[in-house]
Structure 1
Amino acid sequence: MPHATARERRTRRRGLRRRFTARDLAVIGVLLGFAILLDLFIIWGPTVASITLSFSSWDGLSDLNWVGGDNYDTLAGGDYPPFWPAVRNNLLWIAFLGLVATPFGLLLAVVIDRGVRFSRFYQSTIYLPVVLSLAVVGFIAQLVFSRDQGALNAILGNQDNPTDWLGDRDLNIWMVLLAAGWRHTGYVMILYLAGLKAVAPELKEAAAIDGANERQTFLRVVFPTMRPVNVVVLVITIIESLRAFDIVYAINKGRNGLELLSVLVTDNIIGEASRIGFGSAIAVVLLTVSLGFIVTYLVQEMRGEERR
């Protein structure tokens, strides 16, 4: 059997040589090699550097001083006050986008997929915020939720005693989440619209013949069929939640109740303090949280595929 396997490998190699000339293989090698080197330089290089620097105390100019796990002890022990509020806010972003904005985007996709009148108009209008960056969404949020000249206070008639939607620590995080959810909903809607179009009509017809109503058909047939789309939506939701930066920085530089891990990384690495080692430790925490959510879900999905 091993001899037959070796023969098959030689046969496949000969077939590969017949299909591709030496020049073709050289071009493929150069293109793949360039892409791999670029990936290593842009993504994995800084990742490894951040992990390494997180065990140091360095300002970018003086000598590198290794401090072991002191940076992580400072974060865990509460000696850096903005850290735990930032962790709480990042988890709140995940919960809001995952449990509110994402289901709402799915609902809109289902309604539009049924062919309601002016569905093209609704689809374009709801998707429009997706083409805007979160920084622009942050500026729009300021126009809407501003205390003195905001549209919301004008609509509510609160000019005499205006509500400080973005200055009140108990309110501003929810206003920002509404603005971010407004953008995220359109993105999710488009993804689920594509998934709904890919569901075979025969599956719905078979469910109807078996006596399933529309709700049962969607929950037991359509939604499970869109499993690949569900994975993509979940990963995008987690990434969008954890990399959020622009919108809170545009509003108040991510302070006064809008702290996020990404803002703390920026403030420590390129801010006045230049605590590159400490900022790298926060970046590693952010990376760990991101990988924890995504890897856990993907492993469960792969195990589910193996069972099926």
Structure 2
Amino acid sequence: MSRRRQSRARRKEELVLLLFTVPALGLYIFFFVIPALQSVQYSVTDWNGYSPTFEYVGLRNFTRALTNDSLFTNALTNNLKFWLLVVVFQTLFALVLALLLFRNTRGSALLRGVFFFPTILSSVSVAYIWKFVYDPNFGIGNELLGQFGLSSAFLGNDRTAIYWVAVTQVWFHAGQMMTIFVAGLQSVPAEMVEAAAVDGANRWQTFWSVTWPMIAPSTTIVMAYTTIQSFKAFDIILGLAGNPPKRSMDILSTRIYTTFANFEYGYAAAQAILFVIVIVALNFAVRRLVSYSQPSA
């Protein structure tokens, strides 16, 4: 009898705890799930955003984006270039900083704070800071290059503009990714590192065989988050390039925004779905890449 009462009391307790999740779940469904499902619905229509009626056009919007819209394919190409640069250099830079500063000394803690500082700034502030750096007339970028007899048009050069935006993005978020690597490095057992040293492994061998496998989860998180950031760099792009940005700095998020602003809501919804598919595919590829890079046993 006592067991039955305990079982009933446990079920009641579990039910009460489950009920606490209902408000949050309701908000999530109302503000995220329903709009997402509506986007899927609108993506196969020609809705303009204000008309009470619309027609279903099937996959025409998706076909148009992928095969018959040079602005969308240009934005996708720019975004892939931007993503590749940021995910490679931001991850490497953050990892190097973490390897240098993961020990909890006073100097390391101070430097971690210095490198983390740009992350707490607003995106618009960062964009305007770097817009000043890149100014071809009085920016400090050309002042520094001038010391070596060089100069650059920076954002004015259509062939390299997106790469300079990537430099801004790396500066902005490398410190944030550093903290994730620091947490991963601090979780590596010191005994394993010492054992590798006793076995005669040098620093690189110790890193590759011991440290790198142990921080693989941190690396996956960093690269996944960096991928998402690279496709959501909307405010950085608008701050540096204006609204709407020129073709050389147009990425998917700004292209979708412009399409919505042109009252092509159905087409913009289709672009947004493709946007999500690209991010999911790249994150899957990044996860596989990290797993393949692990040394075999």
| Matched ranges for 1:119-268 at <5 A | 119-157=108-146, 163-252=152-241, 253=243, 254-268=245-259
1:45 equivalent to 2:16? Answer no
Contact 2:82 2:162 in 1 (8 A): no
Letter in 2 for 1:36: L
Q: Distance in 2 between matches of 1:144 and 1:116?
A: 33
| Cα-to-partner distance string for 1:180-239 (whole Å, 9 max, x where unaligned) | 011221111111011111111111011112111111111110110112212211211111
Inter-CA distance 113–245: structure 2 relative to 1 (3 Å threshold): same
Paired residue for 1:287? 276
- Residue 46 of structure 1 deviates from its aligned partner by 2.1
SS in 1 for 2:249: coil
| From 62, 66, 75, the counterpart of 2:65 | 75
Identity among equivalent positions (%) equals 28
- Computed over aligned residues only, the root mean square deviation of the Cα atoms, in angstroms, reads 2.9
Inter-CA distance 103–115: structure 2 relative to 1 (3 Å threshold): same
Letter in 1 for 2:111: Y
SS in 2 for 1:96: helix
Paired residue for 1:86? 75
- Residue 247 of structure 1 deviates from its aligned partner by 0.3
- Residue 121 of structure 1 deviates from its aligned partner by 2.3
Runs of 4+ deviating beyond 6 Å: 299-304
Letter in 2 for 1:289: V
Contact 1:172 1:257 in 2 (8 A): yes
Inter-CA distance 203–17: structure 2 relative to 1 (3 Å threshold): farther
Letter in 1 for 2:116: Y
Tell me which of the two structures has the higher relative contact order, counting C-alpha pairs closer than 8 angstroms and 6 or more residues apart.
Answer: 2
Q: Distance in 2 between matches of 1:144 and 1:302?
A: 38
Q: Distance in 1 between matches of 2:258 and 2:164?
A: 23
Letter in 2 for 1:66: Y
Contact 1:188 1:233 in 2 (8 A): yes
Unaligned runs of 5+ in 2: none
Q: Give the number of aligned pairs.
A: 289
Inter-CA distance 230–151: structure 2 relative to 1 (3 Å threshold): same
| Cα-to-partner distance string for 1:112-150 (whole Å, 9 max, x where unaligned) | 125787222211111111112322221111111012232
Unaligned runs of 5+ in 1: 1-10
Letter in 1 for 2:66: A
1:56 equivalent to 2:45? Answer yes
Inter-CA distance 117–214: structure 2 relative to 1 (3 Å threshold): farther
1:66 equivalent to 2:59? Answer no
Q: What is the TM-score with the length of structure 1 in the denominator?
A: 0.84
| Matched ranges for 1:25-36 at <5 A | 25=14, 27-36=16-25
Contact 1:54 1:280 in 2 (8 A): yes
- Residue 300 of structure 1 deviates from its aligned partner by 8.4
Question: Quick check: 122-131 or 166-175, which moved more?
Answer: 166-175
Inter-CA distance 300–42: structure 2 relative to 1 (3 Å threshold): farther
SS in 1 for 2:155: coil
Contact 1:238 1:290 in 2 (8 A): yes
Inter-CA distance 148–34: structure 2 relative to 1 (3 Å threshold): same
Q: Distance in 1 between matches of 2:201 and 2:152?
A: 49
Q: Distance in 2 between matches of 1:191 and 1:16?
A: 42
| Matched ranges for 1:93-132 at <5 A | 93-113=82-102, 118-132=107-121
